[in-house]
A and B are shown apart, each in its own frame.
Chain A
Amino acid sequence: MITKSHEDVTFDIINYLILTVFLLAVLYPLYFVAIASFSDPNMVNAGKVWLIPQGITFEGYQRILDDPQIWIGYRNSLFYTVFGTALNVVLTLTAAYALSRKDLDGRNIVMAMLVFTMLFGGGLIPRYLVVKNLKMLDTVWAMLIPNAVGVWNIIICRTFFQSTIPDEMLDAAMMDGCSSSRFFIRIVLPLSSALIAVMILFYGVSHWNAFFDALIFLRNQKLYPLQLILREILIENEVELQMMEDAETVAAQQRIAETIKYGVIMVASIPMLILYPFLQKYFVKGVMIGAIKG
């Protein structure tokens, strides 16, 4: 046993104090949303809810449960997240692995072309035209294809493969008659579980939070992801009303928004909150890969 000196003890105490402050700063907003979700919205707006829920009501959650749009959005978001992420991960890993092989001709050209897109983009309208001319407007493909790979992620994966899979391993496998695809599936992938977890998290979170593509490319309400529906509910319509006729409608909208706002945030965050703990341990490790060895 090493006994702690006075200095160590004070160090620990200060350390814990600072960490506790950080923890509270991060945790409190989450806690606030949780208690606000079943408090009386007027109490929340009056600033009376900050530690203990006031005027407890479950009307908000009742409404959320009854609202078919939210559940359709939920289903769509799950669909886009699961299939989108699967597609992303497959394409990214295969592309990155191919690019990591030194025996691939022209890989620098391909890499340069990829990197070029990171620096220069066509902008919104050309992007819209491309999607339109590929006839993907208003289909689920518009949510999956245009962002099928992230160049940044390809770079991370390529660097990972280059630095963790030694060339000698490939040579040895080849010697035993292993093909490239077999080597990739049987040897590279099992060695890259941390990387895969990180990719799933990166892509999964971005799919779950994405609304912009949906906003631009979709017009069928049945395809809307949850975030787009939330955005509608939550963003206050403080736009100067062109007509008083709309005032009543906007007011009615706001009243509903007030009751379900925090509940809806809870509902939308839960899947990600569940996903995090399972992937978190890989996450830290994975991000470091690109950072140090890149």
Chain B
Amino acid sequence: MQIKKFLSWMLALLMVVSLGLSGCKQQASTGEPSGEEVKENGNNRDSGKESEVGMLGNMYKTGLPIVKDKVTLRIAARKRPLHSKEFNDMIVPGKFEEKTNVHIEWDAIPGTAWEQKKNLMFAADDLPDVFFKGLTPSDEINYGGQGMLIALDKLIGEWAPNIKNLLEKRPQVKKMCTTPSGNIYALPHVEEQVFLLNPDNFFINKTWLDKLDLPIPQTTDEFYKVLKAFKQEDPNGNGTDDEIPLSFRFGNKADGIYSLFGSFGLLDNQQHIIVENGKVVFTADKPEHKEALKYFYMLYQEGLIDQEAFTQDSKQYTAKGHNEPMLLGAFITWSHENICGTERAYNNYAFQPPLKGPGGHMMWNKYNAGVGRGGFAITSANEYPEITMRWINEVYLPENSLEWSFGPFGHNLKKNADGTYEYIETPSGKSYGEFRHSETVGSSAPAGLLKETFDRLKPMAAVKAKTERYMVYKPYFPEDIYPLVYYTSEQEQLLSTLRTDIEQYINKMQAKWIIEGGIDKDWDDYIKQLDKMRLKELLKIYQDAFNTFNKE
């Protein structure tokens, strides 16, 4: 009796479920006709009228449009709050669809959800046809190895002369995007603006210097004296000792003090890894490093370093820069326009060149910039890899790349008769970032922009200032830096455990030594502790990956 009842219940449940399902199915089949339609059309065309020459299935082998019958590609790209419109309503993607006859269905994923959604797409096998930026090197290795991303080398050779050309012109870039297996799974995003090489820039308060009748300091000693004067002589004139002689954000790549270590003979960075004579060198256990930390401790002891330098976030940093009256004497950041506002940045602050240390050293950090990996990848779900490759080849054409990155000609950019380009001024009431992203995918799209292209683009004011900064630091860049390398999955695994621990430990100790001192006393234990944390294995991974990189 009981069982019968149960069965009849289950039956009823099943009926309800199946009814619901079939209903959904019907709806769905009317919902997305595009894919099947396209396929059918493709088959029809095969049967005849077009001459076979110059065609590959539905695709024209050269020229525009790329396909005869409209094809739809699904692209996953990062959506930023700066994008005020949907991508397909923007001028650049719209124009591009007309030119190429390829329709893009955008999977616009909010930046904060990107990682989660990307992993879900791979795990649930719900892949888009293309990923635009935002694949990590380990994604390339893992998913490329599993066949969920397809190798692009052959397609580039056959269908993408622009990209092939770009990679031939920049062998270093080609190396950086070639995985250890020898395949390219994702095209690089190339944007060779020189000023991106030095994200950390050093600024000093020119107004205060003038007021105290001091020159821009050239050495670490002079710098110390200047900071001291900032502290004691109340340069902002409000009668209280509220000046912050030196501020930074400890441990941050652009806002941190890594470049200042250079004055003592050895640069530092977040990984504490540099390259000297083709060898990977660990910085944080060298005597030069120690000297630098002692110098910072001296500054801190005298109250010349911001008390909040180890804890503040970028918002607090910015608030200090904007404070009335001025608080900051010297500070380090990527863009002082962001920290203290354009007006103050240009009127009150000057670039501080690298300081000459006690040993006569002057150095400044250079980073791998102008090239990013994971710019564009084709997944195994893509039914038209050739068409996709021809499409992205068009995007990498310099003028098209300009439009995809910075906005359409006639709206954000203009072409001059002499073959140069110019930015159109940002309308008032809008920030440049918003203006740039108003009619194009912008920073969420990959591009192929070589230095040659930027040479023809007249810089706007902000770019000009950044280029000047670059010129200040350029003579002090190290010759070699650790390149963008790929790690094998085993290396990656070990790396992630070792790296986090070791870097955190070093950070902790550096902060301690700057704030409390005692570096001489702690040093031997510190070296021992690093050894215990398997520093040697970590360095071996770095060196191995570096060797693999150079072999190719």
Contact = CB atoms under 8 A, between A and B. Distances in A.
A269 interface: no
Interface string B73-89: 00000011110101000
A110 B123 CA distance: 32
Interface stretch (B55-63, B280-288, B426-434, B491-499): B426-434
B318 A249 contact: no
Interface in B171-191: 189, 191
Interface string A122-157: 001100110010111100000000000000000000
A125 B125 CA distance: 10
A134 B22 CA distance: 9
A245 B443 contact: yes
A252 B443 CA distance: 12
B28 interface: yes
A251 B335 contact: yes
Contact of B117 (A68, A215, A242, A251): A215
Contacts of A43: 319
Nearest to B193: A245
B443 A246 contact: yes
B196 A45 contact: no
B461 interface: no
Given A251-B335, A252-B434, A106 B5 contact: yes
A94 interface: no
B551 to A, nearest CB: 25
B124 A132 contact: yes
B82 A124 contact: no
Contact of A215 (B84, B116, B318, B370): B116
Interface stretch (B44-52, B144-152, B309-317): B309-317
Contacts of B432: 248, 252
Contacts of A252: 82, 431-434
Interface stretch (A9-17, A189-197, A231-239, A273-281): A231-239
A3 B297 CA distance: 69
Contacts of B123: 125
B433 A248 contact: yes
Interface in A92-121: 105-106, 109-110
Nearest to B369: A244
The 10 A-B pairs with the shortest beta carbon distances in the complex, nearest first, are: A252-B433, A135-B28, A45-B319, A46-B319, A243-B372, A42-B322, A244-B196, A249-B443, A45-B315, A232-B110
B254 interface: yes
A67 B84 contact: yes
Contacts of A221: 79, 86, 108
Contacts of A257: 81
A128 B125 CA distance: 11
A237 B111 contact: yes
Given A216-B116, A251-B433, A253-B81, 4 more contacts: A42-B319, A105-B5, A222-B86, A229-B81
20 contacts: A45-B318, A69-B81, A109-B6, A128-B120, A136-B24, A216-B116, A232-B81, A232-B111, A236-B315, A238-B313, A244-B369, A245-B372, A247-B254, A249-B433, A249-B437, A249-B442, A249-B443, A251-B338, A252-B82, A252-B434
Contacts, number: 141
A234 to B, nearest CB: 9
A245 B106 CA distance: 22
A219 interface: yes
Nearest to B31: A135
Given A109-B9, A134-B24, A256-B431, A249 B82 contact: yes
Given A135-B24, A244-B334, A247-B254, A219 B107 contact: yes
Contacts of A229: 81
Given A109-B9, A251-B335, A231 B110 contact: yes
A249 B21 CA distance: 45
Contacts of B84: 67-69
A240 B269 CA distance: 14
A249 B437 CA distance: 9
Contacts of B82: 249, 252-253, 256
Contacts of A69: 81, 84
B25 interface: yes
A236 B314 CA distance: 10
A110 B110 CA distance: 39
A159 interface: no
A149 to B, nearest CB: 14
A57 interface: no
A233 B21 CA distance: 37
A240 B442 CA distance: 20
Nearest to A129: B124
B431 A125 contact: no
- With most chain B CB atoms within 10 A of its CB, the pick from A124, A215, A245, A257 is A245
A36 interface: no
Interface of A: 42-46, 67-69, 105-106, 109-110, 124-125, 128-129, 132, 134-137, 215-216, 219, 221-222, 228-229, 231-233, 235-238, 240-249, 251-258
A231 B116 CA distance: 14
Contact of B335 (A135, A246, A248): A248
B476 interface: no
A254 B21 CA distance: 45
Nearest to B321: A42
Contacts of A241: 253
B6 A235 contact: no
Nearest to B320: A46
Nearest to A59: B429
Contact of A245 (B191, B314, B316, B433): B191
Nearest to A126: B124
B109 interface: yes
A229 B189 CA distance: 27
B417 interface: no
Contact of B126 (A128, A232, A243, A244): A128
Contacts of B315: 45, 236, 254, 258
Contacts of A240: 253
A51 B140 CA distance: 52
B314 A254 contact: yes
A8 B315 CA distance: 50
Given A42-B319, A125-B123, A246-B443, A106 B110 contact: no
Contacts of B434: 252, 256
Contacts of B338: 251, 255
A69 B335 CA distance: 29
Interface in B110-151: 110-113, 116-117, 120, 123-124, 126
Interface string B1-35: 00001100100000000000100110110010000
A46 B372 contact: no
A272 to B, nearest CB: 23
Contacts of A42: 318-319, 322-323
Contacts of B354: none
Nearest to A128: B124
Interface string B422-448: 000000000111101100001100000
A242 B373 CA distance: 9
A67 B24 CA distance: 35
B367 interface: yes
B408 interface: no
A128 B117 CA distance: 11
B199 interface: yes
Nearest to A219: B107
B340 to A, nearest CB: 10
A233 B110 CA distance: 10
Interface in B341-381: 367, 369-370, 372
Nearest to A107: B9
Contacts of B253: 240-241
